[in-house]
Structures are given as C-alpha cells and as structure tokens.
A and B are shown apart, each in its own frame.
Chain A
Amino acid sequence: MNTELNLAAPDDFYDELIGLHRDLTETQSALVNAKLILLLANHVGDADVLRAAMAAAREDLPQ
C-alpha cells in the first residue's frame, strides 16, 4: 500500500471530499462514504492492499 503522497492536488481533493457531504444528513453521509469505499475498493482490486488499508484505518482509534 502506497502511503506516500499520491494526489496531485491534496487540498483540492480534501475540499471536494468535504464538499461531497455538504447538506447531507448523517445517514446520507454514511451511505455516501460506504459507496465511496466500495467503488474505490473495487478499483484497487488488490486484496493485500485492501487488507493493509483496512488495518491502517483501524489504528489509533480514540477510546
């Protein structure tokens, strides 16, 4: 899994990601996030990368 910067314009991406959720209810936001994960996961395809990403996502959770 590549965790070095791979985005040409990171601030623009972040802005668009937050914008994606504008005016959505909490439930709608959760659904959009889930759809986004599924779309990206299928695009990535590589099971090892997906597993590594899932493991990284679970790290350092606030108690």
Chain B
Amino acid sequence: MSDRCSEAGAAVRLSGLVKRFPGFELGPLDLTLEPGTVLALVGPNGAGKTTTLNCMAGLMVPDQGETEVFGAPVGPARTDYRRDVGYVGEENGFFRRWTVRRNLDYLEQFLPGWSRDRARGLADRLALPMDKPANKLSRGNRAKLALVAALAHGPRLLLLDEPTAGLDPVVRAEVLDVLWEITEDGEHAVLYSTHVLSDINRLADELVFLRDGHLVLRTGRDELSDRWRRVSFRLQDEDLRLDGVVEHRRVRAEHQIITRDAPATLQQLSELGAEAVEVARMSVDEIAVQILREGHHVARTES
C-alpha cells in the first residue's frame, strides 16, 4: 500500500452505519461523498452529526456498517486512511498547558506528511498566537489551532464538527475563507456539521439533513433554493390540496404556502384560477429550518 490511500473512489463511503447509545440510535446511514464536494451535515443538537463524524474519523466503532475513506477501511485499529483525514472536533486532544507552537511542533514529529511551512502559513494567516498556552486561547483561537493542526499534513478529506460554532463573525469569516480556498482545487472533500445555517450558503455544495439519528434528506444547495418558494395567493376553495406544500396558512380566501416544488405548485394554482399570486425566494437557512421542522414528512414525500 502506498502512503496515500487508493486514488480511486469516493472520498467517504458509509454503508449501513449504525451506532447505538442508550436512548439514541444513529442510522442505518448510507452516504457517499465525492472528491471536490463540500457537504454540510445539518441537524439540531442530538441529531447524530458528531457521532457520524466520529465514526468517519475512526474515533468510534459503529455497531453495524462500514466506513471507507478513499477506499481504505476506517477504524481505530486502521492507519491507512489517516494520512488523508483532517479532523476538527470540539475537543482535539491538545496538550493544553503547552503553547500553540509546542503543540504544533509535537504534531510535526508525529503526523506523517506534516508541512511546517503549511502550518506556519496557516497560523500566520489566521493570526494564531503561537506563544500562548492552548488552555489560555479564546474559543476562536482554539478553533483556529484545531484547523491548522487538521490541515498541516495535507489531508484530502476534512471532517469538521461545528467548526464555526460560537465564533464571532470576523473569525468565522476567516475560517470559512480558508475552507473555501482549500476546496477550490476540486480534489479536497469537506464534510462539516453545523447548526449555524448561514454557513451553508457560503460553503456547502450539498446538504444532508439529519434528525433523530436518521437521514431526512440529501439535496444540492442550488436545487434546494431553486425549488422551494414562499407563495401567497387569493383563492376561494374550502378544500384546497396542493402538491409539494409543506406549510399552509389561510385567512379566509388569502393563502400563504411554502412549497418544495414551486413549478408544480404554481402550475396547479394557475389551473385553479388563483389570483394575486406572489412568489418569494427563500434563503437556504429558511428552507433548512423548514425541512428540520417538517423532517419526516418531507423525507416521505421526497421519496
């Protein structure tokens, strides 16, 4: 085996992944991520995002199913895949009483493929205070340290667990800039979990919605924003039934709906003779909230 994993295949492949905890079960989860794709795992707290990422990083052993990274099986006892993975979690195992510099120096001797220039370049770029102990860093700087540590060995797959949670807007923009540049070459794959929905617009190509451990929906970001619309109209119809509608509010003859299939809904409205039809685009944030609220219903109708 070469020191890099097989060139062929998906960046990540999850097959029938199941992980059980008392009172919670993740999966079965099937997921494939191609190189050059940025995929956001979106879901409320406790949806299973972190568990999914931990299984992909080999920090957790699933109860069932398999995980592969660039064709190499993932698990705590496997090492072939690790060269290709950079992981940023909430906790990253740093020596908290050591300075940033010392932590990075330690990782340099320890992680194959580590580039000191890359690490220093990123640290400079992110204005990471190199001589501060890790336990004295602000939340933002801890996230930056984790990001530098995850990127300096040149992984092809980045797994990021809430990388921007709790960061101020300036730091968040910096972190997103770095991630954006990394994915520009089309060879890197990024899978990140978030409940900061505004990040989605900036970074994600595809979205996977998780709720209660189950995959609710996988869709392209553009597809999502192309098809979902908020529509208001006037129509006298006591028993109005429209396809693709996920929310419907009505005051006498005035209707306001949210549809996940705008062309079909608008066609129906036209046939029914609806008046004063107004169509408004929805932001990805709004759509995401709607999907997570409506979760199971949307999943059922999509399928």
- A and B associate in one complex: no
Binding site for A on B (CB under 8 A): none
